[in-house]
Amino acid sequence: MAISILNKLRTKKGLFYLLALLLALLPLMMSNFYINLLGQFLAFAILVIGLDLLWGYTGVLSLGHGIFFGFGAYVMAIYVTIESSNGAVPDFMLWSGMSELPWMWVMLSNPFAAIALAIIAPMILAFILGFFTFRNRIKGVYFTILTQALVLVTVTLIVSQQKFTGGTDGLTNLSTIFGFSLSDPRTQTVIYFITLALLVGIFLFCYRLVNSRFGKVLVAIRDGENRLRFSGYNTSYYKILVFTISAGIAGLAGMMYVLQIGIISPSMIDIIPSIEMALWVALGGRATLLGPVLGAILVNTGTTYFSENYPDLWNYFIGLVFIIVIVFLPGGLMSLGEKISKKWRNFNAKRTNTGTFPEKNS
Amino acid sequence: MEGIIAQIFNGISLGSILLLIALGLAITFGLMNVINMAHGELIMIGAYTTYVVQTIFINYFPEGLFDWYFLFAIPAAFILAALIGLVMEVTVIRFLYGRPLDSLLATFGISLVLQQLARSIFGAPNVGVQSPELLSGAVEIFSMSFPISRIFILILVALCVGFMFYYFYKTGNGRRIRAVMQNRDMAASLGISTRKVDASTFAIGAGFAGVAGMALTLIGPIGPTLGTAYIIDAFMVVVVGGVGMLLGTVAGALGIGVFNTIFEYFTDASMGRVLIFVLIILFLQWKPNGLFSINTRKLD
């Protein structure tokens, strides 16, 4: 009995439940400040699951997820800004000479519309870009570069349309949601648990997805797209669909993130953060779902702690870690665990086998 | 009429800067299929090399010779950037051939390290490089003025492109490089050391980034993150031009430069960028492999 539970826990799903349990218990022993911080990392963890679905399983690398994340965050931030100021026109708009809210903002003053759009808007954008790139088989490498260009273009646009978006400063005046103060630790704790619940939900959703027939097709696209095409599958549909789902998950993550950090600005969704998201996936372990979650939490914890105390050294360290993991440990941290357990099993096997099955050569 | 000529000149000038940056990428990305995100940092290294050469001239050479510092800065920037590129190739890149997406992420790690190195040595704030007298000012032609620094960059780009064409298509080394890039196994079995070719090709690509960095000092102040601003645009140039073709890179750079200037003239800088992006996506619908591409029967 005990052994069968242990064996179950050693699967990815089991390990994930263990992690979720740990994350649910952690708030009991942490100050409000750290709960809030951890909640932000969990939002990133949601995003990287979607990114892993796209990159780890389907082999399509998007470096534009910062933008999808940003769409979710901006849409939510606009709603919160309107609610916090009771529909008054924000200061930055007044400074640019606008006397009433633009129609895009008015539309987002409805909470249901805002929550829906935070997820749907990134999906629409991803669908359009995916449609125009996957449809006529533009190379994977080109797609990655195009997503980077998408980030560049969108960020430039956000910065220049200051009267709608707050420009480089972003949206900062986020104080209440549904009447609850965002600076109240109790609200933050509730948001933390909502984020955790969403993380579990998204994980299970993606876990089912990759273990279904659909998931097998995704892996086949990664490993031999042309063979799959010759077998009669239209791979571009699958790629468009996965890219769209992944963008929706990123939007959801952005929505939860902005509620916890309380500010959103273009520099948070720019090219460098977008690449870093992919690196969390690589660091944790591609195509494992669990690995990226660990990668996101670990790297962000490290960044928060070390970049305050040793900013210079941290930059060297994280740069080197990225290089070493990508070059020498393509499976990420998860493969490290497997490598060690394999060694351990071999070692055990050798020990128990000695005497019973002597090797032929000896 | 004068307005149009001025706009065309601006477009070509922008295109020439893009081209100078993309030349190195045309080699590392176009020929070797390595996405070098640290290309921007190699540009930064070239720029700081120019800054150091200039500082040496100010401190140790008579004042009259100051103007000639940039003649020394060009080879110095090329050599230093090429050396650092060589170190990158030997330590990291050589494990990543055939894994372009991984090369992107690993070189991003390199770029973090190099940026921090620049910050540690030169400090985080931008430094200005003083343009030589020879290259400041403008030429007046038919009551239109063209800045000499821009014309100098145009000439520099033309020289670099000419040199590359000569090197790749007329010399033994160039022939070996093209042979390895087109059919590695065949080249190796004919006695070409592919390791040496890889390393030297990557170093040459890096060296051109250094020259681009030298040119950028003529345009504005330089800082540790100088390269990041240009890198994505340069990649787009190579994508549009077609991987593996020098001619495509030239056409792609000038095309993007001219269209960008036209769009910016009719709208504004940020809308210009959006329009260029849309145009590139539409262009790739028509030619998914870029303007020029090598026809092969290979599928992957």
Confidence bin at A214 (pLDDT 50/70/90): very high
Q: Using a CB-CB distance cutoff of 8 angstroms, which residues of chain A are in contact with residue B31?
A: none
Q: Do A312 and B288 touch (CB under 8 A)?
A: no
Q: What pLDDT shows up at residue B108?
A: 92
Q: Using a CB-CB distance cutoff of 8 angstroms, which residues of chain A are in contact with residue B95?
A: 327-328
Q: Do B105 and A278 touch (CB under 8 A)?
A: yes
Q: What pLDDT shows up at residue B300?
A: 56
Confidence bin at A360 (pLDDT 50/70/90): very low
Q: What pLDDT shows up at residue A320?
A: 92
Give the nearest partner residue to A132 out of B37, B96, B281, using CB atoms. B281
B68 part of a folded domain: yes
What's the number of domains chain B is made of?
1
Q: Do A319 and B289 touch (CB under 8 A)?
A: no
- Of all residues in chain A, the percent with pLDDT exceeding 90 is 46
**A236-263 b/e with 16+ CB inside 10 Å = b?**
bebbbbbbbbbbbbbbbbbbbbbbbbbe
Residue of B nearest to A224 (CA): B300
Q: Treating both helix axes as pointing N-terminal to C-terminal, what angle do B39-60 and B228-241 enclose, rounded to 10 degrees?
A: 130
CA distance A160 to chain B (A): 6
pLDDT digits (tens, 9 = 90+) for A296-320: 999 999 888 887 788 788 888 889 9
Interface test with A, best of B36, B97, B105, B286 (most A CBs within 10 A): B105
Q: Do A326 and B109 touch (CB under 8 A)?
A: yes
Q: Is the pLDDT assigned to residue A353 strictly greater than 70? A: no
pLDDT digits (tens, 9 = 90+) for A146-164: 999 999 999 999 998 888 8
Q: Using a CB-CB distance cutoff of 8 angstroms, which residues of chain B are in contact with residue A132?
A: 281, 284-285
Residue among A247, A204, A260, A281 nearest A43 (CA) = A260
The pLDDT of A38-52, averaged and rounded, is 94
B279 part of a folded domain: no
Q: Can you say whether the dihedral through the CA atoms of B6, B44, B214, B232 is positive or negative?
A: negative
Q: Using a CB-CB distance cutoff of 8 angstroms, which residues of chain B are in contact with residue A136?
A: 284-285, 288
Alpha carbons B66 and B138: distance in angstroms, whole number: 20
Q: Is the pLDDT assigned to residue A362 strictly greater than 50? A: no
Tell me the three state secondary structure of residue A176. Answer: strand
Residue of B nearest to A140 (CA): B101
Give the nearest partner residue to B100 out of A141, A149, A322, using CB atoms. A141
DSSP codes, chain B: -HHHHHHHHHHHHHHHHHHHHHHHHIIIIIIT----TTHHHHHHHHHHHHHHHHHHHHHHS-GGGGGGHHHHHHHHHHHHHHHHHHHHHHHTGGG-TT-HHHHHHHHHHHHHHHHHHHHHHH-SS-B--PPPGGGSSEEEETTEEEEHHHHHHHHHHHHHHHHHHHHHHHSHHHHHHHHHHH-HHHHHHTT--HHHHHHHHHHHHHHHHHHHHHHHTTTS-B-TTTTHHHHHHHHHHHHHH-TT-HHHHHHHHHHHHHHHHHHHHHS-HHHHHHHHHHHHHHHHHH-TT-SS----S---
Give the nearest partner residue to B116 out of A150, A312, A323, using CB atoms. A312
Number of Cβ within 10 Å of residue B19's Cβ equals 29
Interface test with A, best of B33, B34, B101, B289 (most A CBs within 10 A): B101
The pLDDT of A39-63, averaged and rounded, is 93
As a whole number of angstroms, the longest Cα–Cα distance in chain A is 90
State both tokens at A68.
């999808």
Q: Is the pLDDT assigned to residue A358 strictly greater than 50? A: no
Q: Are B94 and B198 in contact (CB under 8 A)?
A: yes
Q: Do B281 and A133 touch (CB under 8 A)?
A: yes
Interface test with A, best of B31, B94, B108, B236 (most A CBs within 10 A): B108
Residue with tokens 């399983």: A57
Q: Do A315 and B108 touch (CB under 8 A)?
A: no
- Look up the ipTM and state it: 0.87
Q: Is the pLDDT assigned to residue A354 strictly greater than 60? A: no
Residue of A nearest to B237 (CA): A145
Residue among B76, B75, B84, B83 nearest B52 (CA) = B76
Residue among A98, A104, A31 nearest A71 (CA) = A104
CA distance B29 to chain A (A): 10
Number of Cβ within 10 Å of residue A310's Cβ equals 12
CA distance A136 to chain B (A): 7
Q: Do B92 and A150 touch (CB under 8 A)?
A: no
A-B C-beta contacts closer than 8 Å = 119
Q: Is the pLDDT assigned to residue A48 strictly greater than 50? A: yes
B3 part of a folded domain: no
The pLDDT of A107-124, averaged and rounded, is 91
Phi, psi for B4 (deg, rounded to 5): -65, -45
Residue ranges of the domains in chain A?
A: 32-271
Q: Do B116 and A315 touch (CB under 8 A)?
A: yes
Q: What pLDDT shows up at residue A339?
A: 76
Q: What pLDDT shows up at residue A2?
A: 59
pLDDT digits (tens, 9 = 90+) for A255-299: 999 999 988 999 899 888 999 999 999 999 888 888 899 999 999
Confidence bin at A359 (pLDDT 50/70/90): very low
Residues belonging to chain B with any Cβ–Cβ distance to chain A shorter than 8 Å: 33, 35, 37, 92, 95-96, 100-102, 104-106, 108-113, 115-116, 119-120, 228, 232-233, 235-236, 239, 268-271, 273-274, 277, 280-281, 284-285, 288-289, 299-300
Q: What pLDDT shows up at residue B245?
A: 67
The segments of chain B whose pLDDT lies below 50 read none
**Domain range for residue B203?**
24-227
Q: Using a CB-CB distance cutoff of 8 angstroms, which residues of chain A are in contact with residue B269?
A: 156, 160
